[in-house]
Chains A and B, each alone.
Chain A
Amino acid sequence: SAVISQKPSRDICQRGTSLTIQCQVDSQVTMMFWYRQQPGQSLTLIATANQGSEATYESGFVIDKFPISRPNLTFSTLTVSNMSPEDSSIYLCSVEWPSGSSYNEQFFGPGTRLTVL
């Protein structure tokens, strides 16, 4: 499977600030995904990030709040903008592996635990 890392692993931020989370993969992948996991909850897909195109956002998530970059086939960032305590969650990136597989087997990074005060 692909090896995925995320930075930072955790952070505590003040209300109104922004945090950019990085996701790095050790292999080139087409599809990268960003998820949010609120405390005690399951995972919810925020957006799908393909290299060379705009990210596709799920219902309830907007680009102004969660801008995403995908500059190449091994890297992506998610920014949580103008944060409020409700944004306190674990944010996870995932990749489809093998890339282009029809089975959509997804592997996840270790997550970024965000606490907003």
Chain B
Amino acid sequence: SQQGEEDPQALSIQEGENATMNCSYKTSINNLQWYRQNSGRGLVHLILIRSNEREKHSGRLRVTLDTSKKSSSLLITASRAADTASYFCATDRDQGGSEKLVFGKGTKLTVNP
């Protein structure tokens, strides 16, 4: 079954607003990663947060992780039209060093100029 589930499935905002996307998962994890995919292209790695971390920042990105709720959020502040893309979370199961990533269904973000 799908490990990660993002919500919302689609999000439309105005430039300058903040965008928040959420990811829930089902089993224990080693870490959680967020990726961005521009229309039909490869995935760009945004940020990795380890299971023992609660918050991480990278530029306009802020990621939180709540392992008790098995959920993570990605916040993009002061959004730009160039942030328009699909965003995926991916989890690495805590199974003795398993390298397999399981991806959520993604959130399609549209930032209107």
> Complex formed: what's the CA distance from A4 to B41 in Å?
13
- B31, B42, B88: the one contacting A110 at CB < 8 Å is B42
Closest to A105 in B: B48
Q: With A43-B88, A103-B48 in contact, do A108 and B30 touch (Cβ < 8 Å)?
A: no
Q: Type the 1/0 row for A43-81, where 1 means its CB is closer than 8 Å to any CB of B.
A: 111001000000000100000000000000000000000
User: Secondary structure of the B side of the interface?
Assistant: strand
Residues of chain A within 8 A (CB-CB) of B105 are 41-42
- B33, B43, B45, B100: the one contacting A92 at CB < 8 Å is B43
A43 adjacent to B48 (CB under 8 Å): no
Q: With A42-B103, A42-B105 in contact, do A90 and B30 touch (Cβ < 8 Å)?
A: no
Chain B interface residue number, banded:
20 to 34
Interface residues of B in 11-54 (CB under 8 A from A): 30-31, 33, 35, 40-45, 48, 50
* Residue of B30, B100, B104 with most partner-chain A CB within 10 A: B100
Residues of chain A within 8 A (CB-CB) of B41 are 110-111
Q: With A42-B104, A48-B99, A96-B99 in contact, do A106 and B42 touch (Cβ < 8 Å)?
A: no
Q: Can you sample 17 A-B contacts with CB below 8 Å?
A: A6-B42, A33-B101, A41-B105, A43-B88, A45-B100, A48-B99, A102-B30, A103-B48, A104-B30, A104-B99, A105-B48, A106-B101, A108-B43, A108-B44, A108-B45, A111-B40, A113-B40
Across chains A and B, which 3 residue pairs bring their CB atoms closest together, nearest first?
A110-B42, A108-B43, A43-B103
